[in-house]
Structure 1
Amino acid sequence: MGQALVAQASLPDFTELVEQASPAVVNISTRQKMPDRAVAGSGSLNVPDLEGLPPMFREFFERNVPQVPRAPGGGRREAQSLGSGFIISADGYVLTNNHVIADADEIIVRLSDRSELEAKLIGTDPRSDVALLKVEGSDLPIVNLGKSEDLKVGEWVLAIGSPFGFDHSVTAGIVSAKGRSLPNESYVPFIQTDVAINPGNSGGPLFNLAGEVVGINSQIFTRSGGFMGLSFAIPMSVAMDVADQLKAEGKVSRGWLGVVIQEVNKDLAESFGLEKPAGALVAQVLEDGPAAKGGLQVGDVILSLNGKSIIMSADLPHLVGALKPGTSVELNVVRDGARKKLQLKIGALPEDGEALANAATPGVERSSNRLGVKVVELSAEQQKSLDLKGGVVISEVQDGPAALIGLRPGDVITHLNNQAINSAKTFAEVAQALPKNRSVSMRVLRQGRASFITFKLAD
């Protein structure tokens, strides 16, 4: 009994935090003009996120959410979406998610006293999913901003938002992990929590126990449309850097290295002579990019940037993206088994990615039965289109190691066992001399994208 009381006493009390922070948390709704045919026959509310909920709750929700009115003349209707946000300055700057206000024709911010203000969009950054709004006002309630980098895994955090339109709902949990990378989100080291987040919470604040905002609730991992214990927030260090740039320039510029990287697993680490799996393996260096000008090469393993260790390959885009274009950096790399330091200048991340040309039709055929592939040399035109000085293209995959590791006809091999392949003869010689029962790396270009793969020869 005594132990239970001690445990109960140690749990945090969120009441004072909520009282102080709630006034600065807002509900955000948007209106977007859309063709009438897009909503024809939608006389009742249809919200996919409600699928699977008990009928009684669903009826309650449908009865209490305003129906979308038909515009005068019947030619167009207005779509509404609900999200959350928070006020960061007394003169009315508001932070939310880009996806909350995307494609909106009108943005309405509702304060805790239920007053509504029309917001002006200052700028958005789809890459970080941050948007900055401005409402007219003075002496508005504001949140206290905290340092997301000071967060520790296991500490308590709290979210306030409008899940399913229920204003100022409060949920709490702990920090599950930091620096998470999500697919297609290369430039945000997300904070992972187990705070209950649902549709409508997006754009709302994540608080620490000091009542400071440390993140913007942005995404959840779900198979049902509802919360499953995995929530992701944009760190405030990232969000405020974006907000400051949007306020000053109307857009966001990020650092860019000009490389394609991949994770270093156990087998790759062994093949490159590393003591343990760590770092970012350079699979491709883009022509005329900052990395190419700074001397970075394919096969280099980047271990640190300006003294900050690269444990997972995803750490590199986070660090590079946070730098301003033109910044000089020092990279610590492993090349041919030896450590090397490189000095280079960070470039500006292009608006659109660049694609390399695909490999074309091969020329004279050669073969290497040891790996089970037939390869041909690239023509001068093909090498130019792929920005290569050598390499061979696979014309046929036979039974053997190549088939087992997933190689296909059309794949271009540029390196084998850490050696550059500049001809079919070189490929055959290197393949014949491959060691047994040890991880061997191979660099392959498929549809213009390069990656290293590893394999072992048993005999």
Structure 2
Amino acid sequence: MANSRPNSLLKRPKLLITAVVAACFGFSLGATEWAQADATAPALSINTNTAPQQALVALPDFTPIIDRYGPAVVNISSTTNKVIHQQTNPFPPNSPFYQFFQHFGAPGQRGGPRHQQHEKIQSLGSGFIISPDGYIVTAGHVVRGANHIVVTLTNHHAYPAKLIGLSVRYDTALLKIDAKDLPTVPIGNSDHLKVGQWLLAVGAPFGFYNTVTQGVVSAMNRPLPDDEYIPFIQSDVPINPGNSGGPLFNMKGQVIGINDQIYTNSGGYMGLSFSIPINTVMRVVQDFKDHKPIQFGYLGVEVQDVTPQMAQALHLQEPVGALVASVMPGSPAAKAGIQAGDVIVTYNGKPVYNVGQLPPLVGNTVPGSHANVGILHHGVAETKNVLVTALPKNMDEPSNSTQPSKPTKTLKIPRMDIHVQDLTPDIEKQLDVHHGVVVVGVSEGPAAEAGLMPGMIIQQINQQTVNNVSTLASIVASLPADQPVPMLVRQGKASIYVVITLSKK
């Protein structure tokens, strides 16, 4: 009886069709025939078993991770005092009306009086507890410049936090709160991550506390332009402002990264999230706890990408690796025999496909340790054993371009359409160069197409050293036409390889 209603509903369309067919052929069926037709029809069987079925695809269940380690994720709020200078003159100094409003200022002040206003800026972020006595890890930009930091646990207990250490290069900070017997998270090994593995993020996006999102690993060792020392984990885990500093879990419930950045045009999540590997983070955290300065590995080379045109000019099979544009005198690379023009393709057994992959590998090397650097020297594979030292503190000094003064000899190179001059002692001393020629004029032609400008110094062409204008002229005369040739040039204190295609003789 339970199936009678469904069966009658299913059979009704069939009976209606039979009646229509009978009407078309001019005959009808009696009641007995209808009953016989209905009785002889096969009964339809519907499975009403409501017992749970086994899933065809096993999806991850994140509830055990949240139940066990969710209480160790904290919310971080920080307050920063920002001084705002206000000027009564409504026009900028280059405005023709600027002078008419100067007299409104106080005596001795130009452009009107300046008032200082203090504005409090509050920001929200996330973090996680790594020890029961109150050590907390978060992203550096969450608390950078903060005057007051408050950490709130999932039980709504709030604690003032002390900043133990902060690294701008690694965007990592260590906080301390006065508490005991706190829940903690287990620390995993980010080197074991693989593309496609499931991930879980916990944080406070837009201030919505204890928000859980999930995704997969999209890429590993992803370099970003403004953070050259961090080999980011790229994922599609949805994170937004407020997630910064929160943990990124693997399926074992281990933290394998700090949620740090998103790629966005709108200010919100667009499918690309970047996290700092926990191995990088914990190396910095340990230095903070030991009150040691943060040191970065130093190789002493300037590198650039190998373009397809450059690979052709260097006679390489593939456009991969980091092309060494210059080697600092006395640096670890120089002592190991690495030269300008070499292409770094591996570092400690890890492949280097582009220039962005090398700085994180070198920076994360412990100063004082050895690294095997695989290079291509004139196309031949070699391995150099380098004793990596600490990054010097004065490496960020700005460089200035230099124009030649009192040149000793000038020469035109017709095949390049440039005028060059020998170096002067002043330029050699200021730029710390000991060979090359200065470009003093560039006409329309091969040199201009290669990007050469007056003030640049040509140090190599076709991987041959240029000592003076006569050497350059001799080398150029021997080179074939209409073929790409590598040329090492220097602008200010930075060196770069360019590709030039010489005209016919």
TM-score w.r.t. length of structure 1:
0.86
Deviations 1:235-294 (A, max 9, x none): 001011111111112431111111111112222223223222222211111233222333
Measure, in 2, the Cα distance between the counterparts of 1:8 and 1:119: 48
Q: Is the 8 A contact 1:196 1:231 kept in 2?
A: yes
Which of 392, 400, 404 is the equivalent residue of 1:361?
404
* Amino acid in the other structure paired with 2:282: M
Instruction: Provide the residue aligned with 1:181 in structure 2.
Output: 223
Measure, in 2, the Cα distance between the counterparts of 1:88 and 1:142: 5
Q: CA deviation at 1:437?
A: 4.0
Which of 476, 481, 486 is the equivalent residue of 1:431?
476
Q: Percent identity?
A: 43
Change (3 A) 1:432 1:117: same
Instruction: Provide the residue aligned with 1:11 in structure 2.
Output: 59
Instruction: Provide the residue aligned with 2:415 in structure 1.
Output: 370
Which of 275, 286, 303 is the equivalent residue of 2:317?
275
Change (3 A) 1:22 1:409: same
Which of 192, 196, 216 is the equivalent residue of 1:150?
192
Measure, in 2, the Cα distance between the counterparts of 1:337 and 1:153: 32
Q: CA deviation at 1:188?
A: 0.7
Instruction: Provide the residue aligned with 1:318 in structure 2.
Output: 360
Change (3 A) 1:300 1:118: same
Measure, in 2, the Cα distance between the counterparts of 1:35 and 1:408: 43
Q: Is the 8 A contact 1:25 1:160 kept in 2?
A: yes
* Amino acid in the other structure paired with 2:430: S
Which of 69, 91, 105 is the equivalent residue of 2:147?
105
Instruction: Provide the residue aligned with 1:232 in structure 2.
Output: 274
Instruction: Provide the residue aligned with 2:12 in structure 1.
Output: none
Which of 309, 314, 320 is the equivalent residue of 2:351?
309
Q: CA deviation at 1:35?
A: 4.0
Q: CA deviation at 1:25?
A: 0.6
TM-score w.r.t. length of structure 2:
0.79
Q: CA deviation at 1:147?
A: 1.2
Q: Is the 8 A contact 1:122 1:250 kept in 2?
A: no
Instruction: Provide the residue aligned with 2:23 in structure 1.
Output: none
Determine helix, strand or coil for the equivalent of 2:191. helix
Which of 71, 74, 77 is the equivalent residue of 1:23?
71
Determine helix, strand or coil for the equivalent of 1:268. helix
Measure, in 1, the Cα distance between the counterparts of 2:281 and 2:430: 39
Deviations 1:397-452 (A, max 9, x none): 11112222222111111111111111111112222322234331111112321111
Instruction: Provide the residue aligned with 1:52 in structure 2.
Output: none
Measure, in 2, the Cα distance between the counterparts of 1:198 and 1:256: 34
Change (3 A) 1:207 1:264: same
Change (3 A) 1:295 1:131: same
Q: CA deviation at 1:356?
A: 4.9
Q: Which runs of 5+ in 1 are unaligned?
A: 39-73
Measure, in 2, the Cα distance between the counterparts of 1:182 and 1:309: 18
Larger radius of gyration: 2
* Amino acid in the other structure paired with 1:216: I
* Amino acid in the other structure paired with 1:19: D
Determine helix, strand or coil for the equivalent of 1:275. coil
* Amino acid in the other structure paired with 1:12: P
Q: Is the 8 A contact 1:357 1:386 kept in 2?
A: no
TM alignment of 1:391-410, pairs within 5 A: 391-410=436-455
Which has the higher mean CA deviation after the structures are superposed, 269-278 or 246-255?
Answer: 269-278
Which of 280, 285, 288 is the equivalent residue of 2:327?
285
Q: How many residues align?
A: 420
Determine helix, strand or coil for the equivalent of 1:249. coil
Instruction: Provide the residue aligned with 2:131 in structure 1.
Output: 89
Determine helix, strand or coil for the equivalent of 1:274. coil
Q: Is the 8 A contact 1:119 1:134 kept in 2?
A: yes
Q: CA deviation at 1:8?
A: 7.0
Determine helix, strand or coil for the equivalent of 1:246. helix
Deviations 1:324-379 (A, max 9, x none): 21212332322233333333321111234245553332513211121221111111
Tell me if 1:140 matches 2:182: yes
Which of 426, 435, 441 is the equivalent residue of 1:390?
435
CA RMSD of aligned residues (A): 2.2
Measure, in 2, the Cα distance between the counterparts of 1:77 and 1:294: 53
Q: CA deviation at 1:6?
A: 8.5
Q: CA deviation at 1:323?
A: 1.6
Instruction: Provide the residue aligned with 1:57 in structure 2.
Output: none
Instruction: Provide the residue aligned with 1:381 in structure 2.
Output: 426
* Amino acid in the other structure paired with 2:135: Y
Measure, in 1, the Cα distance between the counterparts of 2:292 and 2:178: 19
Determine helix, strand or coil for the equivalent of 2:359. helix
Tell me if 1:418 matches 2:463: yes
Measure, in 2, the Cα distance between the counterparts of 1:81 and 1:450: 41
